[in-house]
Amino acid sequence: MKFLVINGPNINMLGIREPDIYGNKTYKDLCDMLLSHAEKVGIEIELFQSNHEGAIVDKIQEAYGSVDGIVINPAAYTHTSVALLDALKAVGIPAVEVHISDVSKREDYRQISFVREYCEKTITGHGFMGYIEALDYLLGAIEK
Ligand code: DQA
């Protein structure tokens, strides 16, 4: 079973960016945690981070036919991107939306999520654990 974990803009700045909101751990810490979880539960994961909307669209399209589930934190593109929603709809791969911070308690402009319409589930405010929960959810949903 293969899963793709996509992170949008500025997630590579974790540890530096707004630590009061996102914590002190780095993007590498996140990747290490996800890779060791994948090994533990016996799945393959690919980790992808980009600051570019089109590159994320390309990655979602490439996943067609080769990936069983997508975990996506579109970061700021959550609140702006119809293109990411359309890409997810185009490939039809089960997906879960993740946010490190609790976006529901933040600014008004963060209350809209375009990808939410497609995603089976949204996990927000659980920090790095949200990604693990998303992977486990997809694994459980696919194994059923
Ligand atoms: C985020 C929340 C978004 O509003 C923000 O633009 C991000 C990160 C999160 O993980 O909490 O970059 O997706």
Model pLDDT, residue 78: 98
The CATH code that applies to domain 2-143 is: 3.40.50.9100
- The residue whose CA has the least distance to atom 1 of ligand 1 is 75
| CA–CA distance, 131 with 144 (Å, rounded to integer) | 20
Atom of ligand 1 nearest to the CA of 21: 11
> Among residues 22, 27, 77, 118, which one is catalytic?
22
Residue 118 to residues 27, 77, 136: CA-CA distances in angstroms? 26, 15, 18
Tokens of 86: 């359309």
125: CB partners within 8 A, 6+ apart: 99, 100, 101, 102, 103, 104, 105
Tokens matching residue 87: 């890409």
The Cα–Cα gap between 45 and 42 comes to: 10
* Ligand 1 centroid – CA 82 distance (Å): 16
What tens digit of pLDDT does each residue of 1-58 get? Answer: 999 999 999 999 999 999 999 999 999 999 999 999 999 999 999 999 999 999 999 9
Is residue 22 among the annotated active site residues? yes
pLDDT in tens, 59-100: 999 999 999 999 999 999 999 999 999 999 999 999 999 999
pLDDT digits (tens, 9 = 90+) for 91-117: 999 999 999 999 999 999 999 999 999
This model's pTM is above 0.85: yes
Q: Best of 12, 53, 101 to mutate for ligand 1, by most ligand atoms within 8 A of CB?
A: 101
Q: Is 99 tagged catalytic?
A: yes
Q: DSSP character for 105?
A: G
The structure tokens listed for 30 are: 């996140």
Write down the catalytic residue from 27, 77, 99, 118: 99
Contacts of residue 69, defined as CB under 8 A and 6 or more positions apart, other chains included, come to 1, 3, 4, 93, 94, 95, 96, 135, 138, 139, 141, 142
Question: Residue ranges of the domains in the chain?
Answer: 2-143
- For ligand 1, whether the C-beta of 134 sits within 6 Å is no
| 82 contacts 16 by C-beta, under 8 angstroms | no
